[in-house]
Structure 1
Amino acid sequence: MNETAIQDRAVLTTADLLTHWQGHRRLTRRVIERFPEEQLFTYSLGGMRPFGALAWELYGVSLYTLQGMVRGEWPEPQFPQALPQDRAAVLAAWDDLTGQLDEQLPKVPVERYHQPQAMFWATLPGHAAVTYAIDNEIHHRGQGYVYLRSLGLEPPPFWER
């Protein structure tokens, strides 16, 4: 595919995509911060996982997506059996990944967003893989909002990304 065809297909620039993704990540970070420490990894409703477990999942999906987009290779992820169960560890990992996204996503060749990417669960264009990571975060952050409200806590405004 030539450069003109790729640009004709673009709706967002890589910088726009990064800004959008990082906006969602900033908002999710504020949700993590809003949880009382003692309930981040214990509180749940209706059989859903605690928000701390969801936060680790969001971290893992974003890391997997970034690495896949950068390398163009998507091996099956190896998740640790036990992750730290404290907010400080989640936020430290979150912040580290924020820096990685800022540094590495702009280096992804633009054509990779349009090429099929063979992930361990499906083959999708790169832009769909990134969209999945963002959508997954929005979905689970919504669960966090429900948890916070049920605890009598006001979640951060969703439009302040």
Structure 2
Amino acid sequence: MFHTPARLFRVLAIAEMVSWTILITGLILRATLGWALAVTIGGGIHGFVFLSYGATAILVALNNRWRLGVGILAVGSAVIPYATVPVERWLHRRGMLEGAWRIEEASDPADRRWYDGPMRWFLRRPWVLAVLLVAAIVVVYVVLVLIGPPVPHSD
């Protein structure tokens, strides 16, 4: 399913857009019907997908050799509702999502950065990478839940 960086990035960009819809729906339900649980559920889903999208954007940025500004734009697009899909389309049009996962070292000296060896090792073992990324996302998510919402809600 995620044989290319473009496919993985697109799936997570769409998932982030859907999670914004779920969160906004929860906010509307809380404001109109007083269903605070809707925000708790929507916020939880959105938070997990937000972190997953960010991790994916970083992985694809490293794999596809994006400039730092492009990587920051991709990650930052998750902060603005519905911006991940237009950014994905922009990256696609510019050819920045083309290519395969870098699982083998190329003769290009740019393929010998400090992170390339470990990244190739993980990309050759996608289940190990997926489990570690999900574990890291869960840890960050739990820490953020324990810290509390970015803006406290006053009833």
The TM tier, using the shorter chain, reads 0.3 to 0.5
The structure richer in helix per residue is 2
Where relative contact order (Cα < 8 A, 6+ residues apart) is larger, the structure is: 1
**TM-score after normalising by structure 2:** 0.42
Structure label with greater radius of gyration:
2
